Structure 1
Amino acid sequence: MIELQRATEAELPEIVALTNWAYRGTGPQSSWSMESFIEGERINEAMLREDLTAKPQAHLLVWRGEDGERLGHVWLEPTADGAWYLGMLTVRPDRQDQKLGRTLLAASEYFARGQGAERVRMTVVGQRETLIAWYQRRGYALTGETEPFPYGDDRFGRPLRDDLCFVVLERGL
């Protein structure tokens, strides 16, 4: 099992850069799971710091390779009734053909289970069918719940469609 480590203050700029590259990057090394119907930044440093301050129980975890290279990161947060929220699962787009995403997901679930999680929940933009199918192949199921997309809040990017929403997926541990 890979080792996840708590992100340090000094790593936040790199976490923001990697997140934006993976979620909104373009070009030949862009991610297969890129949010092509939202433009602009996925996150910025001020938002990330705000989230970390507002949610001190959350864990922003970093995965580094043996050579120290940052391979990915994830946000894990205890919520209610034994559920943990998994967000911002991010791996280097230029290394995605090496099964890094599934490795990081498994390590994230292992970490949450070690903290007492009984299940993991996440939200995904409902129009990201390929990504939803990827999570379903790893044991996540759609709950039937949806959450509204934050239209009018450009901190999360500018949507290029007017029909976006989040779907909730869950997996028991």
Structure 2
Amino acid sequence: MDPIRLHPATEADHAAVIALTNRAYRQAEGQTDWKVESLVGGQRIDASLLAEDLAQPGAVLLIARDATGDHVGHVRLDAGDEGAWYLSMLTVSPDRQDAGLGRAILEAAETYAAARGARRMRMSVLHPREALIAWYGRRGYAKTGETKPFPYGDPRFGEPTREGFYFEVLEKPLQASR
């Protein structure tokens, strides 16, 4: 696979980002079970939540396009204190999965952040999603022992199927950019 290039999203990309994110995270059709957040129903993101997220200092939404210019995935990064960046909303078009594209977007996001001073990357994964946590583990991410609460009561994040969810915080050290 050719290296993935990530491009900053424009406001014109937001509707496609929302649609692709909700499809990839919440619609099981055509996807392997571990790739879908089936423990939470409803939407994953909407326009108000995306706008709120991107209004945060240091937030950037990056789009991955294929050779023809089609939007095949995206990722959100947030520059943090002391070189700790936060990665979220890593999304791959379901019709393009199982070809290494998720790994390529993840690596490109890490490179992007490292080139801007990141020394480590952090993320949160819904705790029962052990297969996804293992996938990130094979890419150098480890559980930190830190957890974050699930935003129960805020339908912008979807509708959880049960009580007791929380997020595992994962972290990976990054190589300094050359």
Give the TM-score normalised by structure 1: 0.96
CA distance in 2, matches of 1:151, 1:50: 18
**Counterpart amino acid of residue 2 in structure 1:** I
Distance apart, 1:26 and its partner CA: 2.6
Distance apart, 1:155 and its partner CA: 1.1
CA distance in 2, matches of 1:46, 1:27: 26
Q: Match for residue 35 of structure 1?
A: 37
CA distance in 2, matches of 1:135, 1:96: 16
**Counterpart amino acid of residue 166 in structure 1:** F
Query: Within 5 Å, which residues of 2 pair with 1:15-94?
Result: 15-29=17-31, 32-53=34-55, 55-94=56-95
Distance apart, 1:171 and its partner CA: 0.2
CA distance in 1, matches of 2:58, 2:120: 17
Task: Give the secondary structure class of the aligned counterpart of 2:82.
Answer: coil
Task: Give the secondary structure class of the aligned counterpart of 1:162.
Answer: coil
Sequence identity percentage: 54
Cα pair 1:41 1:155 within 8 Å, conserved: yes
Cα pair 1:82 1:116 within 8 Å, conserved: yes
CA distance in 2, matches of 1:133, 1:125: 12
CA distance in 1, matches of 2:24, 2:34: 9
Query: Residues 144 and 29 (structure 1 numbering): CA distance in 2 closer, same or farther, change over 3 Å?
Result: closer
Q: Match for residue 12 of structure 1?
A: 14
- Cα RMSD, aligned residues only: 1.2
CA offsets 1:87-113 (integer angstroms, 9 cap, x no match): 000011111111100000000000000
CA distance in 1, matches of 2:130, 2:32: 17
Aligned residue-pair number: 172
CA distance in 2, matches of 1:159, 1:92: 23
Distance apart, 1:51 and its partner CA: 1.7
Give the TM-score normalised by structure 2: 0.93
